[in-house]
Amino acid sequence: MDRIYLDHNATTPVRPEAVEAMIPFMRGTFGNASSTHAEGQAARRALEDAREKMADFVGAEDVSEIIFTSGGTEANNMALQGGLASSRGKRVISSAIEHSSVRTVARWLGESGRGENVVIPCNSHGIIDPADVEDAITPDTALVSIMAANNEVGTLQPVKAIADICKAKGVRFHTDAVQLAGKAPVRVNELGCDMLTLSAHKFGAPKGTGILYLRRGTRLTSLLHGGMQEKNRRGGTENVPGIVAMGVAAELAQKELTGEVEKLRKLRDLFESLVLKAVPKSSVNGDREFRICNTTNICFEHTDSASMLMALDLKGVACSSGSACAAGSPEPSHVLLAMGLPQDKAHASLRFSLGHGLEEWQIRAAVASIAEAAAQVRKSHPLWKEA
């Protein structure tokens, strides 16, 4: 059975070019990039070459603004914890639909007494109102963190408008752009952010690498102490093979962006239209205009996501009920609840996220499996016969 993978927001397959780029740095060129001998300096050159690629990928003005991390979670922790620690203010403002690596950290900062956790609501489409952010900013605000694109419903946030408000009030602004990479341009000056997070495994590179973009002049206290790596901003030996692969994947994503966005949007729209026709009482969650090109979140009334996921997996279709980092939780998606969906509809919703290499025949085959799964699950649902 050929499996159909529709969970690219959770992780992506590693591009073959990225795999090939890694191999030399796991064999002959295996030096520590902090060492002064020839092996170490070869690793250092590769590291700095990848830094240049990532700086170009996000439109940074200087390569020194790129800090390599172990991924998006670490970068988000650096931004929130390090941003708060380097500020006189205590208020940390984020939204109700943030990824758990922002949401949980902000809550922990508030509960531990280190900061004040202020959460901004979203509307029924999953979009943040910049006016709500502006109203929440006080003289005691340390930073604002609002994601660029939501990982569950795909909605694009008015990041530039929020960034302009923060700049006018002298408040640092961080955006989690993990889901933007490879699906839309990532340009820090157009976004207006002081800090930005990316995770390599979301755009065709291995897990365990990422970056925090830190605009020159932005204060940040180190989260990891140890060595002097990353200009003393992040201690720990750099993952040279992973970072090299990330640089290659970023180049590919940037080069292919226009065509990839057009293709994924067409496939996503086809997928949605076919599902809505094939499955009665199905509907799309979130804004259908202001969203990334590859993502749709669909409610299948009178089903439950756990049963649907199991049925689809057995039929060879991989998708999810929300963030992979929240997989296994019995609670419905916090994003859908924040948007005002009732618990039963939130429990009946699935996320489908498309990616590189998908073809139309796979979309059509997946829709057929989804229709079969919904019919199968609804047979045991107590309300389906009444619907």
Q: Are 162 and 262 in the same domain?
A: no
Q: Are 187 and 270 in the same domain?
A: no
Q: Are 340 and 248 in the same domain?
A: no
Domain tally, the chain: 2
Q: What is the per-residue pLDDT for 368? A: 98
Residue 96 confidence (pLDDT) above 90: yes
Tokens for 297? 């979140």
pLDDT digits (tens, 9 = 90+) for 9-40: 999 999 999 999 999 999 888 988 888 898 88
pLDDT digits (tens, 9 = 90+) for 299-346: 999 999 999 999 999 999 999 996 555 555 567 899 999 999 999 999
Q: What is the per-residue pLDDT for 325? A: 53
Mean pLDDT over each residue of the chain, to the nearest integer: 94
Q: Residue 375: give its domain's CATH number.
A: 3.90.1150.10
The last residue of a domain, from among 252, 269, 297: 252
Q: Residue 182: give its domain's CATH number.
A: 3.40.640.10
The residues near 354 (Cβ < 8 Å, ≥ 6 apart) are 6, 8, 264, 267, 268, 271, 294, 295, 363
Q: Are 189 and 82 in the same domain?
A: yes
pLDDT digits (tens, 9 = 90+) for 113-161: 999 999 999 999 999 999 999 999 999 999 999 999 999 999 999 999 9
For 22, half-sphere exposure in the C-beta direction (CA atoms, 13 angstrom radius) is: 18
Residue 237 confidence (pLDDT) above 90: no
The last residue of a domain, from among 252, 283, 310: 252
Task: Tell me the average pLDDT across 293-301.
Answer: 98
Q: Are 241 and 260 in the same domain?
A: no
CB 175 within 8 A of CB 159: yes
CB 365 within 8 A of CB 4: yes
Q: Are 273 and 356 in the same domain?
A: yes
Q: Burial of 256 by CB count in 10 Å (0-12 exposed, 13-18 middle, 19+ buried)?
A: middle
Q: Are 129 and 276 in the same domain?
A: no
Q: Are 163 and 298 in the same domain?
A: no
Q: Are 179 and 276 in the same domain?
A: no
Residue 384 confidence (pLDDT) above 80: no
Task: List active site positions.
Answer: 325
Q: Are 198 and 262 in the same domain?
A: no
> 218-239 burial, b for 16+ CB within 10 Å, e for fewer?
bebebbbeeeebbeebbeeebb
Q: Are 242 and 284 in the same domain?
A: no
Integer angstrom CA distances of residue 222 from 34, 163, 172, 197, 274? 18, 23, 16, 16, 49
Q: How many residues does the chain have?
A: 387
pLDDT digits (tens, 9 = 90+) for 178-193: 999 999 999 999 999 9
The last residue of a domain, from among 208, 227, 252: 252
Q: What is the per-residue pLDDT for 165? A: 98
Q: What is the per-residue pLDDT for 32? A: 85
Q: Are 351 and 213 in the same domain?
A: no
Range of the structural domain that residue 265 is part of: 4-11+256-386
